[in-house]
């Protein structure tokens, strides 16, 4: 029998294997039970979905389970970005949201993501309660269900559009007037995901020249995962360079992640974008507060924070922790190296659409490409380079590495002393020159993720080799 396990962004599984209609109903019932336990059933739940195979069908089934439990389901009338669902939860004062999405995972996956009433990704104590109840129901199914037409007749399922209110919220966070005045030429790759009709339309509405790739629905996502990583943005890069565009923008399958291509075709990493955006929001927009980054994200952010006298919050991997800080109004911006960010006053959730528009605003406001902005920042902070490697391990090597990490930390790497060890998520070894390595073992597969940061390309490669040697020897 399959078990339901919530990861950093919900429950994900392969369609028709473990991700079945019956299991979707079970997880939806567990969410309904959670909402009832909190006394929030009269506030309704927003239900959305991405562009994956049968996503709207699974969303309908989730809505029908909520309806049978006496909870109004506000069901999206089209595929919807994850940040739009978050915004709708807050706008309606809903009890939470159910999102049928597997984000940037390969096309054979789908998933359920639950967001509670505060609008961000559910925290571990919340998902644990839902997970435990779902697994009880797997053993003894007690699922309520109401046919969709009856649910609509009873007013327990209401179709809604999230486009206008979310677009209005975006406009309130950005200086679109300045972007419109600069009239940049923009190319974008929507990777067959949910940002169509959002990111493209907001720029077209300003009369700008916009070239859009992959805006139609394709549940196969062109044959690869819908992730705005450099390796999947070759076509966008070609369009930008050959067409002389100001910038290339990309979002993932559910539009909560971003990818940026500079005017010369260089992919600017999420680590670099987050640091640049933080500096811009403090320096040009006067935002107050600290900054949050996951343990795996660049310390360039820390150097920018030092420049401006701001506090740094280091969190475990998972945007829920950053979203919580946004909800408490403690930070200017929060970001993860895996292409997620949000800003003060916006939703406590990753937002790839906002990220793309904010970067466009930065380029227009500063009047220079991102690489020049980054070089200017490095003049103040010093240069930092980062790298991530995924290493597949045998069971024996994985067990050996676990034992090593559980023991005393290594004294040094590549001739540099380990001066601090951070264990909030994995094992992060900070060295005497400010460089660091982070090793995070996957809980679901025989993989360790090695993150490395150093002050030069040579040091980065040397440190990477040392890290790999430590893991595999």
Taking only the tens of pLDDT, the chain with its 473 residues reads 578 988 877 899 999 999 999 999 999 999 999 999 999 999 999 999 999 999 999 999 999 999 999 999 999 999 999 999 999 999 999 999 999 999 999 999 999 999 999 999 999 999 999 999 999 999 998 999 999 999 999 999 999 999 999 999 999 999 999 999 999 999 999 999 999 999 999 999 999 999 999 999 999 999 999 999 999 999 999 999 999 999 999 999 999 999 999 999 999 999 999 999 999 999 999 999 999 999 999 999 999 999 999 999 999 999 999 999 999 999 999 999 999 999 999 999 999 999 999 999 999 999 999 999 999 999 999 999 999 999 999 989 999 999 999 999 999 999 999 999 999 999 999 999 999 999 999 766 788 999 999 999 999 999 999 999 999 98
Is the separation of the CB atoms in 233 and 258 below 8 Å? no
Q: Is residue 1 part of a domain?
A: no
Q: What is the token pair recorded at 41?
A: 């059933």
User: Within this chain, do residues 129 and 226 fall inside the same structural domain, yes or no?
Assistant: no
- What is the number of structural domains in the chain? 3
Plot region of 378 (φ>0 → left; ψ -120 to 50 → alpha; else → beta): alpha
Q: Which helix (H) or strand (E) holds 274?
A: helix 270-283
Judged by DSSP in three states, 335 sits in strand
User: Within this chain, do residues 138 and 226 fall inside the same structural domain, yes or no?
Assistant: no
- The CB-side HSE value for 266 (13 A sphere, CA atoms) comes to 12
**Rounded Cα–Cα distance for residues 329 and 344 (Å):** 7
Judged by DSSP in three states, 464 sits in helix
Which residue reads 């199914």 in tokens? 141
User: Within this chain, do residues 340 and 266 fall inside the same structural domain, yes or no?
Assistant: yes
User: Within this chain, do residues 249 and 375 fall inside the same structural domain, yes or no?
Assistant: yes
**Rounded Cα–Cα distance for residues 96 and 351 (Å):** 18
pTM tops 0.85, yes or no:
yes
User: Within this chain, do residues 80 and 143 fall inside the same structural domain, yes or no?
Assistant: yes
User: Within this chain, do residues 103 and 232 fall inside the same structural domain, yes or no?
Assistant: no
User: Within this chain, do residues 141 and 243 fall inside the same structural domain, yes or no?
Assistant: no
- Helical axes 270-283 vs 352-366, angle rounded to 10°: 60
Out of 360, 381, 402, a domain closes at: 381
> What is the span of the domain harbouring residue 363?
166-381
User: Running DSSP on this structure, what letter comes out for residue 410?
Assistant: P
């Amino acid at each position: 029998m399959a078990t339901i396990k919530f990861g950093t962004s919900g429950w994900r599984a392969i369609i028709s294997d473990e991700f079945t209609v019956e299991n979707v109903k079970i997880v939806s019932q567990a969410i309904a039970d959670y909402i009832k336990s909190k006394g929030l059933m009269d506030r309704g739940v927003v239900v959305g979905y991405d562009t994956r195979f049968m996503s709207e069908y699974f969303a309908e089934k989730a809505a029908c389970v909520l309806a049978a439990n006496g909870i109004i389901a506000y069901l999206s009338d089209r595929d919807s970005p994850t940040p739009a669902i978050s915004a709708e939860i807050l706008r309606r004062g809903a009890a939470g949201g159910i999102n049928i999405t597997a984000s940037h995972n390969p096309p054979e996956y789908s998933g359920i993501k639950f967001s509670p009433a505060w609008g961000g990704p559910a925290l571990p104590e919340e998902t644990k309660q839902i997970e435990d109840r779902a697994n009880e129901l797997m053993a003894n199914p007690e699922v309520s269900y109401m046919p969709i037409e009856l649910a609509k007749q009873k007013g327990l399922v209401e179709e809604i559009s999230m486009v206008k209110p979310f677009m209005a919220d975006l406009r309130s966070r950005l200086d679109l007037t300045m972007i419109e005045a600069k009239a940049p030429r923009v190319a974008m790759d929507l990777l067959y995901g949910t940002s169509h009709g959002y990111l493209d339309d907001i720029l077209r509405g300003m009369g700008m020249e916009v070239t859009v790739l992959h805006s139609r629905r394709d549940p196969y996502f062109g044959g690869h995962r819908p992730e705005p990583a450099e390796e999947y943005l070759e076509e966008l890069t070609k369009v930008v360079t050959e067409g002389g565009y100001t910038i290339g923008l990309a979002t993932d399958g559910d539009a909560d992640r971003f990818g940026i291509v500079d005017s010369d075709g260089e992919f600017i990493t999420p680590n670099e974008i987050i640091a640049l955006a933080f500096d811009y929001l403090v320096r040009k927009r006067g935002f107050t507060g600290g900054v949050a980054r996951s343990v795996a994200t660049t310390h360039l952010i820390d150097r920018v924070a030092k420049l401006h006298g701001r506090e740094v919050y280091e969190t475990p991997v998972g945007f829920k922790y950053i979203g919580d800080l946004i909800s408490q109004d403690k930070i200017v911006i929060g970001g993860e190296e895996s292409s997620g960010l949000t800003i003060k006053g916006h939703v406590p959730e990753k937002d790839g659409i906002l990220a793309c528009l904010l970067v466009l605003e930065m380029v227009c406001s500063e009047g220079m490409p991102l690489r020049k902005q980054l070089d200017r920042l490095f003049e103040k902070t010093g240069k930092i380079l980062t790298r991530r490697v995924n290493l597949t391990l045998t069971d024996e090597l994985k067990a050996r590495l676990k034992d090593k990490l559980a023991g005393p930390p290594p004294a040094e790497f590549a001739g540099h002393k380990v001066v601090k060890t951070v264990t909030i998520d994995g094992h992060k070894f900070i060295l005497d020159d400010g460089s660091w390595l982070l090793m995070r073992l996957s809980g679901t597969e025989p993989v360790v993720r090695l993150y490395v940061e150093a002050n030069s390309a040579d040091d980065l490669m040397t440190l990477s080799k040392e890290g790999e040697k430590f893991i595999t020897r």
